[in-house]
A and B are shown apart, each in its own frame.
Chain A
């Protein structure tokens, strides 16, 4: 120890210690989290002098006047194990202070409550407050532009000013054939038909493109495309993942809700409220309840959850992480175990948010009028009451035979095991007791075959009575998987959960538990208490936490809880969070969403890291434009379709993607300043959709339960658990990719190879890899080859046997344009050559055309938005 410190040390200790000044902070920082008001581990509490002296199950902790005999000192010095505090160590000076205080008689003042630890550890600085994302968007007039070409709207003014500043020369506008294809793929994920393309190309009115955009925004396919983008953010899938990978039978309702919301142009602030807290809104409609599926569609273990209380904290982390990344562009999950290392997000912020979510329970909201729900429930419980006594009779009848079956099974065990079981309980050795308990839990299932005929007949009769009653059960009501407030400790047993004694959520047994899983109107409801968790460890409780939001953003005038006025019982905490997020004064929300919209129009956001607006994210390339868009978004009533119109009607959006020389590429390599339109590959789902569109086989049926596209047996075999329904190719599965079953444990191979994101965490942007297995898929996959043939048959039917006409028709369908003269020639040459190669085939012309169609759907021009 340096000399100076020693000196200081001596001076400090010379005076009498003050409990409040010297001792209290040590206890608060290190002890009362586990030994205080909130919890008393080992029955020991340091909140009052009496309890501190008395100690807990390990005996007296403090002997006033005798620090050497005090267990507290012996533990903090490591003399007594386990040493305290767990996972840490007091400094020599702290130990000396405690010793001196005890030797002075351990004087005490008042009641010790835990100090919120992190409040002192992460102070928000001016630099934090000045970080661009936390400053409110500022309205700036778009820069004045003299070039008439760039006077279309504010977007152009901001973009063009930056291009000029950088001395970058924008390319020309894209031709109309390119534009119509771009708009269709971008807004609907489907290429235009030949007729749709030519209608636009031939529309010479100045508003042609504006009208096109309006038409596409009105198409139901728009929601299928843009809803899919949101589903990436919502880490949507149709199964729970992990070992069992159980199907979420109603997840599709959330998926359809998202698609519907986009199609309806639901104001984004409403979209936020429904997903965060739809169940807590005033008089929630079915969509509001379904929106809460946002909290349910993440991955869950789904097995033995009650035996493993840590899972709930994994799910809470998923809720906090997904909600804050999706809506706020903040990586709050980083603050679970410690303050955020880069952003002004404290661990306290994290646990305040955890308190917001803490009362949530999984709940399947019935989508039916209350009267119908009541009728359903009463019918169901009436039948259950009739079934229960029959089941008792079944058990009575089976009992002797089950015993017999067990005896027969036992006889197959080695002698020492049989002996352990057969030894009377009181005479068993300790080892035999363990063995007997285990072996007695074996329940062989062959008892029925051992029954006397008359008993078996009686059993079968009982079982058939039960089955008859079960058949009368009312048809289950439609439900939306969602959440509401309740008491998770009363969750019904799930798969694998064991009622064995000594299991379950013991850690909460000292707290008041509600009577019911979900609150009943008129009865009191106590939300389960949320605690600060030291180092994120669910067993290391700190002080109880009250709900709150990110301190850096402030409360924005929103209280911590907003209970609905219609008498329903719920904490209203998520509602308050939703209002805080959806507030026009929240600096993050509007920016984050307009940035996502921009990202999907241009392949990347103005902020490239669209779910991270913090210090580890990228800064906006056009901050003024981002602010202008955010304010325009709010001004429009949070209309997403309005933002599409603003963006797409700009000159910027309508630039060509092509350029003349590599020097253009070099000058703005990553195209950050948008001197050209960024070409980008379609996602796997859209590639399959586009193939089906050109083959003419796309089944546009929207919504409903997911379909299972056919998957090779060898792929299904790699899946240990969960279903993959086996199907044949056909119209039932020739639906859009967004409706296909998204299984966490096994992705559809064609989507997987084209970078479908992992659905276990929110995805801000898909990666685009280029690997030979993608080529193999598009060359050899049976689905693709078959669709190419349908495409050829379609062309043949439309164009007839004449080869030039075939090429023209195929180009119009696949690429939305006319072939050039050179292309016409080379494709006809190809057709001729292939026709010769296929001369032995039944229809050489069709074979040749199938070859051409296969080539066209492998073209980069087909796979990219140009």
Chain B
């Protein structure tokens, strides 16, 4: 995709001009194409790649991509790296002693405590023998599929600001999310579904709420759409009770007729044509979105693979299975949240008061579904063209909080990336002896964002949008590719 230079076109035209959308297409031919949109459900027209005159038509990346879609598995609240993917024997060795040699220890709440050993044991998994804690036996079993990064770091130790960092690349509220940038850059493969879908924990929204999937200064069309994993996935998807489908169809037909008469006075207007088309797309979406979320179509074996047969793993299992179905249907960017900002310290990963209780519960919820997702993507041949990322907003402290918990630590965190042709089984970077700071090949969120865009075929320095006097970028003036994942 070429860089979109604001001064040469108005913003309202951006969506259409970028990537051969509707701009300049004669209305007559457009309307005849629209007739193709009449029957949405039969014959698999909900499937990916259905070529239609798109409002968000698929656009060419800068170079050949490794992946077409992204699934982000975001653990809100802050997963402790030193109890999951980054074993630190010294924590047990020096348990109860002050952490020294790091200067002033900055904690989020109250006062710093002494070093606290992990309550968990670690085991070697996979061909490379990567150590993973007993919290994640299932994720351990797929460790050869993922590249584990043990040297992530951010800036803020505040949940919300750290969510902004990892999901928008800025500490400040209101910047476009990664998914919005991806949607802006690549458009959608499937006009019957939103390009960017968010499924949050049934217990409630994550820290930072809608700002995680906000479009900021990018066009509203690039915003994440929240799906519920069951029932009607999209807001206002279906007519309220009392309006029959035939009644709606009749309204739509009459609307199209009157709108076309009106448009005849504005020959060649791309915007009016697009609005006419948007009604037919909405109509298709009414059929295709419920179809996409209908997990009953999946076999019992698949249900079991994702843990839908167990009430503990069922909620996140449904989210993961839905993600796979959306990838199959060409949805570009999917973000799943585990954890909700509902009950403090309980519903998300924010283990201030009791690490073992908190992480034990959340780990059980996600472990099996995530391994199921990776296996399923692989067996269906989708893993190569899908980037899967497991992450959180920061790691946690090697020192204790009030004896049993851990406070926030933006200085170090573990996350992993899989699929998209990434070589699995590798471990990238390292933290210090206690896991307090990333020391070897530290990886910032800007680096991760640059890497995500790269794997999708986009140069993070060339994907820009003119706003408030500047060509804005997801990575601002930062971002280095993670070489082990991009070369």
Contact = CB atoms under 8 A, between A and B. Distances in A.
12 contacts: A435-B400, A661-B267, A662-B267, A665-B267, A665-B269, A754-B220, A765-B11, A767-B11, A767-B220, A772-B278, A777-B235, A837-B250
B239 interface: yes
A837 B266 contact: no
A318 to B, nearest CB: 9
A417 interface: yes
A769 B221 contact: yes
Interface in B208-222: 208-211, 214-217, 219-221
Given A439-B402, A780-B236, A785-B239, A717 B205 contact: yes
Contact of A859 (B114, B236, B258, B470): B258
B31 to A, nearest CB: 13
Contacts of B112: 434
Interface string B368-406: 000000000000000000000000000000011111100
B246 A837 contact: yes
A658 B267 CA distance: 9
A235 to B, nearest CB: 9
B35 interface: no
A589 interface: no
Contacts of A745: 209-211
Nearest to B114: A431
* Of listed B215, B246, B262, residue having the most chain A CB within 10 A: B262
B225 interface: yes
B279 interface: yes
A773 B255 contact: no
Interface of A: 241-243, 299, 314, 325, 331, 334, 413-414, 416-417, 420, 429-432, 434-435, 437-439, 441-442, 500, 604, 608-609, 611-612, 614, 616-618, 657-662, 664-666, 670, 679, 681, 712, 714-715, 717-721, 744-747, 749, 752-755, 758-762, 764-765, 767-777, 779-782, 785, 822-823, 826, 830, 833-834, 837-838, 851-852, 854-855, 858-861, 863
B238 A780 contact: yes
B248 interface: yes
A834 B15 contact: no
Interface string B264-287: 011111011011101101101110
A771 B278 contact: yes
B228 interface: yes
A860 B259 contact: yes
A659 B267 contact: yes
B194 interface: yes
Given A331-B470, A858-B255, 16 more contacts: A243-B158, A243-B159, A430-B97, A438-B110, A441-B110, A609-B7, A616-B469, A657-B266, A720-B208, A758-B174, A779-B248, A779-B251, A779-B252, A779-B279, A780-B236, A855-B254
Nearest to A240: B173
* Of listed A500, A661, A830, residue having the most chain B CB within 10 A: A830
Contacts of A758: 174, 214-217
List the 7 closest A-B pairs by CB distance, nearest first: A760-B174, A331-B469, A431-B114, A662-B268, A720-B341, A775-B282, A243-B160
B98 A430 contact: yes
Given A665-B267, A785-B243, A608 B257 contact: no
Contact of B262 (A314, A718, A837, A859): A859
Contact of B173 (A609, A679, A760): A760
A679 B468 contact: no
B279 A860 contact: no
Contacts of A822: 261
A264 B121 CA distance: 72
B173 A242 contact: yes
A242 B175 CA distance: 12
Contact of A242 (B15, B160, B266): B160
A609 B282 CA distance: 33
Contact of A659 (B216, B266, B341, B469): B266
A666 B235 contact: no
B82 interface: no
Contacts of A658: 265-266
Contacts of A785: 239-240, 243
Nearest to A414: B403
* Of listed B13, B174, B236, B285, residue having the most chain A CB within 10 A: B236
Interface string B168-187: 00001110000000000000
Contact of B239 (A747, A761, A771, A779): A779
Contact of A720 (B206, B214, B404): B206
Contacts of A774: 278
A314 B209 contact: no
Nearest to B342: A720
Nearest to A775: B282
B96 A860 contact: no
Contacts of A759: 174
B421 to A, nearest CB: 32
Contacts of A242: 160-161, 173
Interface in B127-185: 158-161, 172-174
Contact of B221 (A314, A420, A771, A830): A771
Interface in B410-432: none
B350 to A, nearest CB: 12
Contacts of A500: 110-111
Contacts of A660: 267
A755 B214 CA distance: 12
Contacts of A779: 236, 239, 248, 251-252, 279, 282
A612 B471 CA distance: 13
Contact of A769 (B15, B172, B259): B15
Nearest to A342: B469
B56 interface: yes
B55 A851 contact: no
Contacts of B399: 434
Contact of A749 (B174, B207, B235): B235
Nearest to B7: A618
Contacts of B225: 773
Nearest to A861: B262
Contacts of A754: 220
A718 B207 CA distance: 9
Contacts of B401: 438
A325 B469 CA distance: 10
B330 interface: no
B39 interface: no
Contact of B247 (A413, A429, A851): A851
B300 to A, nearest CB: 29
B36 interface: no
